[in-house]
Each structure stands twice: as C-alpha cells, then as structure tokens.
Structure 1
Amino acid sequence: MTEIRFHAHIDELPAAAWDALRPDDNPFVSHAWLAALERTGCIRADWGWRAHHLGLYDDGQLVAAAPLYLKGNSHGEFVFDWSWASAWERAGGNYYPKLLNAVPYSPVPGPRLLAGIGSGAAARRQALVAAMRGFAERMQLSSVHANFLREDELPAFDAQWLARSDVQFHWHNHGYADFDAFLAALNHKKRKNIRQERAHVARAGLNIEMRGGSTLSAAEWRRVHALYESTFDAKGNHAALTRAFFSTLGETLGDTVQLAPARDHGEIIAMALFLQGDHALYGRYWGAQADIPGLHFELCYYRGIEHAIAHGLRRFEPGAQGEHKLARGFLPVRTHSRHFLVDEGFRAAVRTALAHEAEAVHDYTLDLQAHSPYARR
C-alpha cells in the first residue's frame, strides 16, 4: 500500500533510507546536510523557512522523498520570483506561504526528487510531483516551485508546470595533469591574466592551504563563521548560517567539507568553503577581513581548480552568477526549475512573461559561448 506523508523535521525520516534514494552523492541533499541546517537554527519560520519534507512509502518503507519547505518569503532560493509575488498580491491574493522543493541557501543543481535509480524511478518521481501539486491545491497555496533540478528529473513535470532556465558557470576537468596544463588550454590573454592575479597574491606572503573539515579545530570553525558573517553583513545581506551550523560541519560531514584558509602570521584572514562529492567540487562561502587584490579569485576559483585536478574530480561548480568566471575557465551551463501556479489566469500571465525571459536567456547563453576563454584548436 502506497502512502504519502509530510514531515516537519528531516529527522522524522530515516537517514540511511533517505540517502539511499539519492541518484548521486550530491552532498546538499544528504540527510546530514539538511539535518544540520535544521538542528542549528538555520531553518526558522521567522526567516521564512518551515520544513515540510515529503515521503512516499510502500508498505511502511520509504521509497521516494523530496526536500520540501513552506516559504514565507523568497529569500535564500536564487530563482527569483519577487515580481510574481508582487503581481499576485496586487491582485488581492496571498502569494505566501508557497511550497518549495529545493535546498536552502544553496543554488546548486542536483537531485530534488529522490526516487532511487532503475525500474520504477520515473514513476516515483511523478508521484512526488503529483503529491506536491495536490498538497498546494488542497491547502489553497499560490504555487509550488522546484529549483535547480537535474535534467533527468524534468520529464516528471507535465505541461501545467512552467519551465524556467538560467545560467551558471562551471569548470570541467579534461584530464589536466596540473594547473599549468589547464592554463595551457586557455588563450594567451586569459592565461597571462590568471598568472598575474596569482602573482599578486603570492607577493602578499600568505600561507594558503586546503584543509578537510574534520581537521579543523573548534576555534578555526568559529573564525570561519566570523569571516562568513562579517562579509555578508558588509554587503548588506543576511548571514543565515549560524555559528552552530559551522561548528557542526566537521563532525557531521567530515572531509566532504573542504576549506581554503589564507593565514597571515598564523591568523586566518580569509577563507573559501567548499563541499566535495565523488565527482564534483562545489564552492559555497567566502569571507575575508583583508582587501588583497586577487585573493578572492585565488581562494574561490584557482585553489578549487587545483583541488579538483589533484583529486580527479570531473567538474567544479563555484556558485551562482558572475560573468567574471568566464575569463577564469568556467563555461556557461543552463540550470532548470519548474513552477506550478495554482490559479490558471495567473499561470497564463506568467507563462507569457517566461517566454520572453527564455528568449533573453537563450541569446545570453549564445553570446557567452562565443567568448570562450579557451584557445581554438
């Protein structure tokens, strides 16, 4: 007998069963990552997040699941629908709460419909999508959103769901022996610029390394959080990840977490935090107390590329946005989301707007591809 259940806490779902449903080892949908967010105060109703995870059960066994949240705003999602919310509320509706199938605070493409692999996976993904839509309709919510989906998940969404796409910049490993081999694949101008940027940082005399999360002390984690928090605050953004969250990372995820700290006379003055899977490296957070030319690029990009090469990782995803990444070897990749707006008239109006947006994104992608930093062969 198949049963649909919604859960107010990820810990209500068995960790081993949840993780076994992932089609790959993307760390952002791991039970440990999502549980750490909830246990350390990062998922809070007053910040617009309420866990509402979906489980599909067959004879009491978890056979499919989806990270799901009731959202009271659109912060921390990176697929921007503020204009939709404004339009619906001007028309007299309540846009929030809405239902969100995503990973909090992380614009990382990856599995969102956890249904295992092999026979029956496609049908289970469709069942998850139907359950999300059914819940929104029963509860008279405005909408359901599934962000940063894997391409093989897209067929689970029928034509009633609106398609949306954007662009990120990812680095791909073509079997480079080392960083110099990667540089050799770039055109002369880009290669020269990168070497100059790295030379600026080298002259600053900082001690830079890559450390596994399990090797960091409690004091080092406190310092990492302080740098993260101060950098967010300086830019007028909300630092949603708590000190407790950072402090638990080394224990809960171990060396899945990687840190590139830059030290001046032993003190960490800047850092970039990454997560690592079997085949990919994911750049997440940056923080610094010193303004050193090129240091951001060194920690967030070049150290990540070196690490990916050294560990035979296939790709490096440094995060959302940023055309400046193109000049540093990262190429445009399309991301995908799907959106179900319950009201038919509202859905039709947004569909029209998205058609124009899709044309612009397509043209933008073509323009980026025409400016590849790699040498033509």
Structure 2
Amino acid sequence: MAPYVDESSAVPLDVPSKMAPNLVAPEPGKCTFRFTDLTPLTNFPEHCPGPESEQAGQGDACAGCPNQQICASAPKGPDPDIPIITERLSSIRHKILVLSGKGGVGKSTFSTLLAHAFAANPESTVGIMDTDICGPSIPKMMGVESETIHVSNAGWSPVWVTDNLGAMSVQFMLPNRDDAVIWRGPKKNGLIKQFLKDVDWGELDYLVVDTPPGTSDEHLSVNSLLKESGVDGAVVVTTPQEVSLLDVRKEVDFCRKAGIRVLGLVENMSGFVCPNCTHESQIFRATTGGGRRLAKKMNIPFLGAVPLDPRVGMSCDFGESFIDNFPDSPASKAIKRVVRAVGEAVGEKAEDVLPESMIA
C-alpha cells in the first residue's frame, strides 16, 4: 500500500530517494533457482538434445516432455529456409530489434518514432516490421491500417508509408481490423519466417523490427532466422519505474544468452513536457535511479531519455509522424538524439544518420 502523503509530509517530486530499495527479484546471473528443482523437468536444460538433433524426442531426457511428439516429428538439421532468408535480406544494411521485457512501456510507439526519425533523412530508406502477431499496432500508428499486401513475382510488397518508409504487419492480412489472431507458437513463427523470406524489401538502410513483450517464441524465431544474415543488435525500451526495470533486466539477460548485442537502453516516458509552456515534470519518478543507473550497472550504453508528450499519442492515433509535425518538441529532439546514438552504435556516422541541423 502506498504511503499516505499529506501537506506536512509532502516532499518535492524532484528530490531523489535517499536509498534505493533492495530488489525483490535477483539480477540475471545471480539466481540460485534451477530448473532441476522441478520434478517433471528433471535435467531438461542440461540433457535436452535440442529440436534439431537426430535424437530429438527420442532421448531419455525427452520422456515426459510435453513437446516430445513435436520434436520427434520435426525435420532434423538446419532450417533449409535460412539461406533463402539470408539472401533476401542481403540488401538491408542494418537490422535493429526493439525489445522490452513488459508491455505498456511504449515500445511500439517508440518503434514508429525510431522509424520516422531514421526516415526524416531523405537519403535513408527505412522499413519497419511488426512481429507482434496477436497485437499488431504498427499499421494504425503509421496511418496505413486500411492497406493490404500486394503480391508479385518478387514476393510480398511492403506497404509504403512514404517514399522512403515501408511497413509490414499481419494486420494487412486480416479481413477486419477487429479480428483476433488466435494462433499457437508454431503458426506465429511460420508467419514471421514468411515476413523474412517472402517480403521484397529491396535495398534498405535500416530495418526496425518491433517485437512483442517478453522473451518467448517470436523473439527466438527472429533471432534464429536473422542470425546468418546479421542482426546489428537490440534497442531495449524501459520506463523509469522499478517495476519496468525488473523486466528489462530479464530482457538484457535474454539478449546475452541468445547472442544478441544490446545497442543500448532508452528510458521512455521520462518526465512530462507541457505542450503549452514546454515545462518538464517528473510523472513517473525513478525510485531506483531509472534507466541511466540500470544501464551503468549492467554495463550497457544509455542511449537517452524521451519525455512524455501527449501529442505523441495523438499522432499515433491519427497515423501521422510526430517527428515531422512537432519538430521543436523536446520529445522529438530527444528521439533524434537517440537515433543518432543508435546509428553510431551500428557503425554509421551520426551526421550521416541525421544532420545536426535537423535537431537544433
């Protein structure tokens, strides 16, 4: 229960906490829990032959596993579609994942802002792929919700938002925008594979991949399918509260275990910018130091803090570019600085990503 605050005990919101509370959950790498503590999964992580092994579904460790039949009947060996995907994506210079351990941190909104900011440079061609199969929101935010996919001999054509910004989402395949996608993991993974194998992106400078919350099927599929073609890394999005940071630690741990480079951490909703006076207030106060302190503690780059601006939500609702409509907003300038930092992280010169004149 939150403490009651009256006039006699109220403190300014900008005063930092005297001491960061102890974390309820241990950080990645310090957990003493073992999967072997669960009787039905005895020795599963250590002795599982893996779904690609010739012994998949047949070894002693497979007894009692709920996926035993699936592994036993699945094709063995490397996925034959990976070389096709690698060839298809060979003309894309940089592939960037946008991850978050939990929902509600504005990850999809940030993905669209990131894509629009990259595309603000007319010299760059950008694509954004929505791998949130059950909750696709990118088409709505991009203003192309009513569009459909065009199929040609070259494959599926992305929906072009502007001359240099294209999008791909399962939403374009649904007969009604309110239709629910009720699919199990294998079918979702199959669609993600089609997005990577069949979509004719052409030559792109940046492909932004928006992922659903968590560390499950979609993330594993994207990583395994893109590994050969080369993933530049992941941008992890959080908000200042400790509740969000708890899940972000798990996401960073997932990236390290999956071999995904963490390009950096972005703190979204970091303060509130009044659209009238542009004064910034701390709505979600960081009780444990926020994203900057977490990035330093986990030894990952801190890409920047993006403040709240109610016009961001309005732009997403109307499918318009917040970057273009409100270039002087502190949030817009913060996004552009993050984009320059991401560009530098993937090996580009900041001035080539976005000229300084576009930020000032």
TM (norm. structure 2) is 0.28
TM (norm. structure 1) is 0.27
Whose strand fraction is larger, Structure 1's or Structure 2's? 1
Whose helix fraction is larger, Structure 1's or Structure 2's? 1
